[in-house]
Structure 1
C-alpha cells in the first residue's frame, strides 16, 4: 500500500487537500549528487546499471520529497533494443550512426524480447521500489512512437526534424512500418514496467508539436492511442505532448488518466480544450525556476488557483534545466506543499 497516494488519487480525479507535485527530469543534471555519478559513468552505463539508475531515481526524493518518483532512464533505450545503434555524445546529444531512411533500412529493425533487451530496466524498478519502500508511487515512461521515429530517421536532435518529416511525406509506408514496430515494442516495454512495479506510466511526445494537426493524427496520435488502449487497464497513463494543445480534446477522449500541458497553453485554455473533466499536469515554464524563490512560490500558487487543486498535478511544462539553483527547485516543491486552497 502506497503511504503517500496523493498522485494516484489525483490521477483518479478524487478530491485532494492539495495537488501532488513532481518535476519532469527531476532525477538528473541540476543535482550535485547526480553530477558526482555522471563524472564516473557515461550516460548509457547509468541507464543500463540498475544500481545506478535506482540511486539516481531516489536522489531528488531524498532531497525534496516529491509526491512521485520517475525512473531514471532514457526514451532511446527503445531503439537500442530494436537493433538501432544509439550513442550519447558529450556536448552533442544523441547520435544514431545508422539512421532508418529506406524500406531496406527498416528490414534490420526488430520488435525485441523485452526481458532479453531491456531486463536491466526491470531490475532498476525492483531496486527502486525497495528504496522507496512504498512511500510514494513510481512512474515509468517511454517516448511516443513519433518522437522515437524523429531520432531514428534524423540520426540526431534537430530544430526541424526535416528528414524525419520527409520520410513520412515521401515514403509513408516505411514510416508507418517503423512507427508500428516502435509502438509494439513500447506497449510490451511499458507492460513489463508495470509488472515490475511501476504505478503509472507517461508517454512523452516531445516532438509532436512539429506536426500540423492533420499530420499529427496520422503519424503520432493514432500510435499513442494504441499505447493507451493497451495499458489503461493495467496502470494509469499520462500523455504529454509538447506543443500539442490542438490535440488535447482527442487526448482527453483517449482513455488516458491525465494529460501533460506545456507552458505555452494557459490553464484556462487547457481546461477548455480538454473538456474540463480530465486530470491535467503541468505547466510551469522550466526557465521560470530561474526567478527568485519568492517569485517562484507566488507564481506556483497562482498556477494552482488557475488550474484548480482537484484533477491537477503540479509539474513543469518540460524538463528541469541543468542551471536551476537547488533552492529554486526547493521553492517550487515547497510552494505546493504549503498551498492551502
Structure 2
C-alpha cells in the first residue's frame, strides 16, 4: 500500500461521522450533534502538560503541536464529540497584518503597540501574502485531517472583522471598547477601510483553510454585542455577509466543495433575523437567547447552535444533566440543532463534568427524536 503524505490535502480518510454536516444542511438527523467552543483548551490536563514547554503562539505556528492539541478532546471523549476545531487563534490575522500580539498568562492577548489613530496604518503590511504568513495553519489543518482518521469533521475559523479591529485598537481585552468604538464616530471612513482590509484577508484565509482540508468554517464575532443594533448593521453585518458570500463564490469558482459556514455573534440577539439571511447555514447562539425566540426570529431557515451557559458546568453533575436536558428540549425535536455551549468552555471546568454534559445531550436529543 502506498504511503500517505500527511503534508498534502489529498487522500484524506473517509469520514465516518457526518452528523454535524447533515444538521448544518438541514438534512434528517437522528440526534443533535454536539461539540464545544474552545474544546481543545486549558480545562484539559493533557493540554496543560503540553503547554509547560511551549508558548501559546509557538503551538499555533507548529503544525504538529496544533494537531496534537486539536486531537486531545477527540481522543479523550471519543464518540461523545461530533466535530473537531483546529487549534489556532483569531488573532493570527492581525499578526499577519504586521502587529505584534503576545499571549500573557493571566491576562490574555496583548498588543504592545495597538493602532491609536489611522496614521498607524503605515505600520500595517499593505499587501498580506496569506499563504506565506498563515500557511502554518493550513499545514496544521491538513495534518489534522489525516490524523483524525475520519472520526469527525474538522472546523476552520476566523475572527470577524469588527472583533479583530477592536482588538487591534484596544490593545487587548476591554470592558467598554471605548477606544475602538470611538473610531467609528471619529474616523468612520478609515474604520470601514480597516474593516475591509481585514475582510479581504479573512476571505483568502478561509478559502485556504478549505483547500487545506477544513470541512466546516466558523466566524467568531466575539464583540458583536458591544455594538448598538444600528452600528452592528453598519460596521459588522456587511463584512460578515461579504465573507460568507465571497468565500462560497471562490470555492465554487475553483471547483471546491462549498462547505457549511457558522456565524457566532455573541450578544447580538437583535441581529438574529439579519444573520439568518446572511448566507450562513448555522447561526450560533449565546446563553442569553431563548431557543424558541431564536427559532421564531430565524424562521427555522438555518441550523441553530448552542447554547448552555458555560458556568452551568460548575453546578455539579445533577444540575448539568437538568440544565442540558432543558436546553435540548427547548430547541425542539424537529429543529436543526447543533448542541454547544453559549460561549467557550472555561479553563477551570472539570473534564468529567463536561463528559456529563456531552452524554446528556446525546441521550436526550436521541430520545426526543424517536
What interval of TM-score do these two structures reach, taking the shorter chain for normalisation?
A: over 0.9
Partner of 2:263: 239
Partner of 1:78: 93
Match of 2:205 among 179, 189, 192: 189
Deviations 1:154-184 (A, max 9, x none): 1111001100001111011111111111000
C-alpha distance in 1, partners of 2:170/2:185? 14
Match of 1:92 among 87, 102, 107: 107
Pairwise mapping of residues 21-36 of structure 1 onto structure 2 (< 5 A)?
Answer: 21-36=34-49
Q: What is the CA-CA distance between 1:276 and the residue it aligns to?
A: 2.1
Match of 1:264 among 288, 292, 303: 288
**2:137 corresponds to 1:131:** no
Q: What is the CA-CA distance between 1:302 and the residue it aligns to?
A: 1.9
Partner of 1:44: 57
Match of 1:165 among 163, 170, 181: 181
Q: Where do 5+ consecutive residues of structure 1 fail to align?
A: none
Q: What is the CA-CA distance between 1:113 and the residue it aligns to?
A: 1.2
Deviations 1:314-335 (A, max 9, x none): 0000000011111110001111
Partner of 1:6: 19
Compute the RMSD of aligned alpha carbons: 1.1
SS in 1 for 2:43: coil
TM-score of the pair, normalised by structure 2: 0.90
Q: What is the CA-CA distance between 1:230 and the residue it aligns to?
A: 1.5
C-alpha distance in 1, partners of 2:211/2:226? 33
Match of 1:285 among 309, 318, 332: 309
Partner of 1:68: 83
Check conservation: 1:101, 1:167, Cα contact below 8 A: no
Check conservation: 1:21, 1:336, Cα contact below 8 A: yes
Q: What is the CA-CA distance between 1:267 and the residue it aligns to?
A: 0.7
Q: What is the CA-CA distance between 1:72 and the residue it aligns to?
A: 0.6
SS in 2 for 1:40: coil
Check conservation: 1:29, 1:35, Cα contact below 8 A: yes
Q: What is the CA-CA distance between 1:338 and the residue it aligns to?
A: 1.7
**2:348 corresponds to 1:333:** no
C-alpha distance in 2, partners of 1:6/1:235? 14
The 10-residue stretch of structure 1 (329-338 or 258-267) with the greater mean CA deviation from structure 2: 329-338
Q: What is the CA-CA distance between 1:294 and the residue it aligns to?
A: 2.4
C-alpha distance in 2, partners of 1:71/1:128? 8
Count of aligned residue pairs for this structure pair: 341
4+ residue segments displaced more than 3 Å = none
TM-score of the pair, normalised by structure 1: 0.98
Deviations 1:159-211 (A, max 9, x none): 01100001111011111111111000011001000010000100000000000
Q: Where do 5+ consecutive residues of structure 2 fail to align?
A: 1-13, 253-257
Partner of 1:301: 325
Match of 2:227 among 187, 199, 211: 211
Check conservation: 2:141, 2:212, Cα contact below 8 A: yes
Q: What is the CA-CA distance between 1:298 and the residue it aligns to?
A: 2.4
